[in-house]
Amino acid sequence: MEANTAPQKGTVREVAALFFRMGLTAFGGPAAHIAMFRDEVVTRRKWLTDEHFLDLLGATNLIPGPNSTEMAIHIGYVRAGWRGLIVGGLCFILPAFLIVLALAAVYVNYGSTPAADWLLYGIKPVIIAIVAQAIWGLGRVAVKSAMLAAVGVVVFVLYLLGINEILLLFGGAFFVLLTRVVRKNENIAAIFFAPGSLVVSALANVPVSLDTLFLTFLKIGALLYGGGYVLLAFVRTDFVDHLGWLTNQQILDAVAIGQVTPGPLFTTATFIGYVLAGVPGAILSTIGIFLPSFIFVLISNPFIPRLRNSPVLSGFLDGVNASALGLMAAVTLELAQNAVIDGVTAVLALAAAVLLIRFKINSTWLIAGGALVGLLVGQLVS
């Protein structure tokens, strides 16, 4: 199936079943989520080709919001139309929302977060294997030339040197685009990207308001690039510095909850909303931070085939894809330094890679196995 050929349509039910399960089992952050999505919709179910999957991934990197959630929304839209768009996103978000809501209630009542170190001990090295396998598989499709390979490598190195990921993403895309223009001697009048800006005044120690809570997370969801760590900066600026509603320790606790639960990391908003305003706050905060993603995907998805079918603009998409893989590889390397920390985790990562690549074991089962190993090791050493 060519990238510009419409994929076979499916049902809303199958979209719901897949992404609800992903919402329950997708640990490890956006890179791991995307790797698991590829395993399910490209390798196993054949809903998409690798090239189409990459184009959707590239599109999510061009718009603000949580990348893995937007991929779920994109895939749902491609598979089952606008109903699939809504159901895919909601089913991926809902399990994490409910889990984080329950943990937030425990946190508020008992003042501490549940211990999950040993669970993560076993899961993290498996995640590294899953992401590495996805990078390898996607790279064989995305790296169509020596130039695209060079772009990916340069982005990989510059990210590790501390260069901003958004600058690298768009820099790589425009470099490839301009190279195509020069080679083809074609003219493009202008390509503009204006994410916009929003000035937030200092409002320290104002009373908690549901309206302000919702609008603050709506703003974050509409403007935030860069994933979970950038989310931390946004949340701290708004809720600690500007509004004075949270302490630094509460922000760290919120991030810890996001890291030990499956599904989107942006359900950190659910935790904060509950801590500040109970269940209504949790619901409004979650809606606020995710709503822009549904709108952005609905607007951008129809333009993806046009980008791919344009001889010149497809270079922009190729550049985004190559840059995104470079970023993904760099993040994976950083994660591996914290995940593979001893002989047990090294064996776990290697075994997961072999089971995934050689025997095509479902990544969900590998994560469950890693979690079990982590808990067993914790029992043995305690």
Q: Using an 8 Å Cβ cutoff, are 322 and 152 in contact?
A: yes
The pLDDT of residue 279: 95
The pLDDT of residue 179: 86
Quickly state the pLDDT bin for 292 (edges 50, 70, 90). Answer: very high
Say how far apart CA 308 and CA 142 lie, in whole Å. 13
Average pLDDT over residues 268-295: 94
Give the amino acid at 371: A
Domain boundaries, the chain: 12-192+298-381
Say how far apart CA 129 and CA 233 lie, in whole Å. 29
Say how far apart CA 56 and CA 77 lie, in whole Å. 11
Which spans in 39-66 are helix H? 50-62
Which candidate, 57, 52, 17, 27, places its Cα nearest to that of 326?
A: 57
The pLDDT of residue 213: 95
The pLDDT of residue 180: 80
The pLDDT of residue 191: 38
Backbone angles phi and psi of 204, in degrees to 5: -55, 140
Say how far apart CA 91 and CA 262 lie, in whole Å. 13
Q: Using an 8 Å Cβ cutoff, are 278 and 243 in contact?
A: no
**At how many degrees (to 10) do helices 248-260 and 228-235 cross?**
150
Q: What is the pLDDT of residues 152-210, one digit of tens each?
A: 999 899 988 988 777 887 888 889 888 887 776 544 444 333 333 333 334 456 678 89
Residue 153 burial (10 A CB sphere; 0-12, 13-18, 19+): middle
Quickly state the pLDDT bin for 293 (edges 50, 70, 90). Answer: very high
The pLDDT of residue 187: 47
**At how many degrees (to 10) do helices 363-381 and 343-357 cross?**
160
What percent of the chain shows pLDDT beyond 70?
Answer: 83
The least confident of 144-148, 202-206, 245-249, 306-310 is: 202-206
Which residue has better confidence, 314 or 79? 79
pLDDT of 98 over the 50 cut = yes
Say how far apart CA 4 and CA 52 lie, in whole Å. 8
Q: Which residues contact 74 (CB under 8 A, 6 or more apart)?
A: 56, 59, 60, 85, 297, 301
The pLDDT of residue 353: 87
pLDDT of 221 over the 80 cut = yes
Q: Which residues contact 377 (CB under 8 A, 6 or more apart)?
A: 118, 121, 122, 344
**At how many degrees (to 10) do helices 146-160 and 165-184 cross?**
160
Q: What is the pLDDT of residues 36-95, one digit of tens each?
A: 899 899 988 999 988 889 888 888 877 778 888 999 999 999 999 999 999 999 999 999
The pLDDT of residue 233: 63
Say how far apart CA 182 and CA 312 lie, in whole Å. 10
Say how far apart CA 94 and CA 99 lie, in whole Å. 9
C-alpha distances in Å from residue 238, one per residue of 123, 212, 296, 364:
32, 11, 23, 36
Average pLDDT over residues 364-382: 84
Quickly state the pLDDT bin for 331 (edges 50, 70, 90). Answer: confident
What percent of the chain shows pLDDT beyond 90?
Answer: 30
Q: What's the whole-number average pLDDT of the chain?
A: 81
Backbone torsion region of residue 191, taken as left when φ is above 0, otherwise alpha when ψ lies between -120 and 50, otherwise beta = beta
